[in-house]
Amino acid sequence: MNRIPGPRSIAGWRWNMFRFFRNPFAFQRWLYETYGTLSALGQGDKPSTVFAFGPEMNRQILTNPDFFEVSTALVKVPKDTRMGELFYNNLVLMSGEKHRRHRRLMQPAFQQDQIRQYGRDMATITGRLADEWEGRTEIDLNVEMKKLTQRIAVKTLFGVQDEEGMDRMGSLIDRMTRSLLLVTLAPVDIPFTPYHRALRIAEKLHARIRSMIHDKRRDPDETDVLAALIRAHDEDDATLTDEELIGHTFSLYVAGHETTANALTWALFLLVQHPDTYASVMEELNAVLSGSPPTLEQLSELPLLDGVVKESLRLLPPAGIGTRVTAAPCELDGYFLPERTNVFFSQLITHRLPELYEEPDRFKPRRWETIKPSAFEYLPFSAGPHMCIGWHFAMQELKIVLAVLLQRYRFSVVRDARISPNLMMRPVRGMPMRIGRHDGRFERVTVRGSIHQMIEF
């Protein structure tokens, strides 16, 4: 079989991976335009990393879990510790029958009618954050959105009531996950090392979630996600064990809050940088909501807001690239892939194919009134068996938060700010925003940074 095309520089795989991490979007677009749907990095005939682009590649990779499995090499936390228990009991790292069973057990907690119950919490917590901004003229929107999605996650997942309790729990988890790289590099348990600190935090968290489980078992009326998971039974009446419950709720928190914070940050950025759309969205909100937070019924009466959310997830998806590893030798796009080849699929490139999206680099939320892409043409939440279990939750949260904040403040990006998203769509230098009263003015300001490579304003 033919050799997969791709750059095979003298410096090899490392140099190309460096180029990829330095500018993931430009590198992938260059790969696609130069080599087509499939390209390989590496030296010699054995490809170590393959990039696969477009809906057909997405379909083949995401619907054949027997050949393309989720790589477990991403997390390297010692297994036989409290930290290991937190990190390894989760859907992402499960496969086959075990994954199917756990997903089935968890599904009821994420069905639309269950998630509807969280709508009021989402609006109230957002309103309180907006109160905290009173008197301020400038915020780092990304920092604030992280604070917000963290509070919403802690409240809806664990039922923690007060803001202080939400922040405490959230920051505990964040302190542990932030040190993950150092933990992986040096897992030695001696005082004052990052690993030692992370282990102690993991023990605290573990004990905290376990005691919540204990309390919720006695109170069957609680409505949070953890309570719903405790109630879950499969057809053989099996339930999730305490260890599994702890791991799942922890991973839901980790998987859900930063992605949603970044999605909110970009949706607001793109909206305020497109003054005509911004004005139309405000008209829509005023007509339907007249200043109140949206009820769930009203969310479906806001088609332009829906288009804004979908369009920003298309252009700047918080999970812009996904990865799988070949579980067995297989064929892809007519080429042979050996076992244990890393395969990247790219939401970022798929979402910008001109044959699927007219003027693909432009922010045009009204396109969603007429287009209906397939699951493999539009996949901000991925597709196939590992598709995001929290996608209804996230879509509801994104729309409620935007509706509440847009009605409270007029936003504008700080002039000449440097706006540059990284691989995970975090704006690496933050997102400085001016906030103030509504005055009927909508204008785009000049900004700098790599955002100009990604969006045609």
Residue with tokens 């042979």: 336
**One of 249, 273, 350, 382 touching ligand HEM (CB under 6 A):** 382
Binding mask 240-279 for ligand HEM (x = CB under 6 A): -----------xx--xx--xx--x----------------
Q: What one-letter code names the amino acid at 439?
A: D
Compute the least distance from the CB of residue 39 to ligand HEM, in Å: 20
Distances (CA, A) of 305 to 356, 436, 439: 22, 21, 20
Q: Which residues pair with 38 in a beta bridge?
A: 52
**One of 318, 365, 421, 427 touching ligand HEM (CB under 6 A):** 318
Q: How many CB atoms lie within 10 A of CB 128?
A: 12
Alpha-carbon gap, residue 50 to 60, rounded angstroms: 14
Within 13 Å, how many C-alpha atoms sit on residue 430's CB side?
Answer: 12
Compute the least distance from the CB of residue 413 to ligand HEM, in Å: 21
**One of 29, 59, 351, 386 touching ligand HEM (CB under 6 A):** 386
Q: Where are the alpha helices (DSSP H) in 180-336?
A: 180-185, 194-218, 225-231, 242-272, 275-289, 296-299, 303-315
Binding mask 79-118 for ligand HEM (x = CB under 6 A): ------------xx----------x---------------
C-beta of 263 vs 330, nearer to ligand HEM: 263
**One of 247, 294, 380, 432 touching ligand HEM (CB under 6 A):** 380
Does position 350 interact with ligand HEM (CB under 6 A)? The reply is no
Q: Where are the alpha helices (DSSP H) in 370-450?
A: 391-408
Compute the least distance from the CB of residue 332 to ligand HEM, in Å: 17
Alpha-carbon gap, residue 294 to 287, rounded angstroms: 12
Does 330 appear as a known binding residue?
Answer: no
Size of the site for ligand HEM (CB under 6 A): 23
Alpha-carbon gap, residue 98 to 350, rounded angstroms: 30
- What angle in degrees, to the nearest 10, is found between the helix axes of 275-289 and 303-315? 140
- The binding site for heme consists of 388
* Contact positions vs ligand HEM (CB under 6 A): 70, 91-92, 103, 251-252, 255-256, 259-260, 263, 318-319, 322, 380-382, 386, 388-390, 393-394
